[in-house]
Structure 1
Amino acid sequence: MIEEVLPEKGQGIITLKGRITTTKTRVVAHNQHVVRIDHEEHTDIGNDVSLQLMDYIADIHKNNKLDAVILQDYEKGMLHHANIPAFIEFLNECGIRIIVDPKDKNFWMYRHVHLFKPNRKEAEKAIGKKIPMTEDALADAALLLESRLHNEVTVITLSEYGIYIKDAENKVWRHSEVMEVIDVCGAGDAVIGIVAAAYCAGLPMPQIALLGNIAGDCLW
């Protein structure tokens, strides 16, 4: 059904024969997340699949002029050391903004992208130190990331502390609403999607931070 509906909206799915679809089973008892059972594959996709994806993006861009592509790294083999530089070069040549939600293994490979969005834990692991929840510490962490990655905008999600956004001219820290957490599912995906749309629409940083926070809070 999904494969039938998506092409009508200019979207689609590339399937790989013999590769399982990631599934996550959560066990919740008395509003408490007990355990999660994952079924997934981590092997890197081949160069032929990477080229197929680039062709697919190029075809969509030719007809619809994409504003951005989100590289969402789950460390499941879709994005890896051999194809990340190729994807970035390809998207920059196409004039498509590159939005990245990284993971630990490939963290420092996403150089020369437009917007880079780690969470606090990922950023701390990458820079090798804790990030205290102060304006100065967040600004220093973002500046350190930018000095190595040469990205235009840095967004650091801070869980219950909200979201921090920095570009060449602005620094915005938007605190989150305090609420009871049962099972956080898809909050990071929601934030990167909304932040990417707001960024491409040219909204000012305070509004991007507000919308990103709302998106994340809705999934708590």
Structure 2
Amino acid sequence: MVKFKNREEALQKLYEIIDIEKIDEDTIVLAISENGVYYAKEIAKKVGFIEADFLFSELIVSPVNKDCVLGAVSETKDVVLIDELVNAFEISPDFLYSEADRIYNEKIIQYIYEYRYGDTLVDVEGRKVILVDEGANSGLTLEVCIKSCINLGAKEISVAIPLMPESLAKEIKKISDYCYFVYEIANYVDTNFYFEDRKDKYEL
């Protein structure tokens, strides 16, 4: 069974498979969740000459079932939706995009002030970006962050995540330049499940 003892072991195994030769001084490492902050910070520290930042996003849930995730919106106001679910619930695009605006104004702006003191995301235009997280469940956070980086003009997008569902890994490889996954898991349970010991929060 796939299990990491802790985040330190997951980081070490992840770092071992990253192609360091593809990293230069124009590379930026972006955490895409709180759980990804530790990895982004430590990878930047290990490489020694690159920046780390946080690309914020939030999930969009169904108005009739709060446990059902329909999409995600990022701090650049890019949106990714699960069309099958949107159609199944017969939810109008107008509602979803107004909901994305509400989430941006009520939550994402708060994150920007809390973690970045109101500063905008570091400029990624023409730069190599490495998106980092600890694991992926639906993949919506990762997909909307990739979309944001593409629209911001990133020169190259890599994804570095210790744990990935096998089916999602195949899709992400189609829309990014390089992928570094320690484990691609066929029957993915939940990211927490694959750690024996896991701390809760790190600050960038």
Establish whether TM, by shorter chain, passes 0.5.
no
TM-score range, shorter chain: 0.3 to 0.5
Per the normalisation by structure 2, the TM-score is 0.33
Greater Rg, structure 1 or structure 2? 1
Higher RCO, 1 vs 2 (CA within 8 Å, ≥6 residues apart): 2
Per the normalisation by structure 1, the TM-score is 0.31
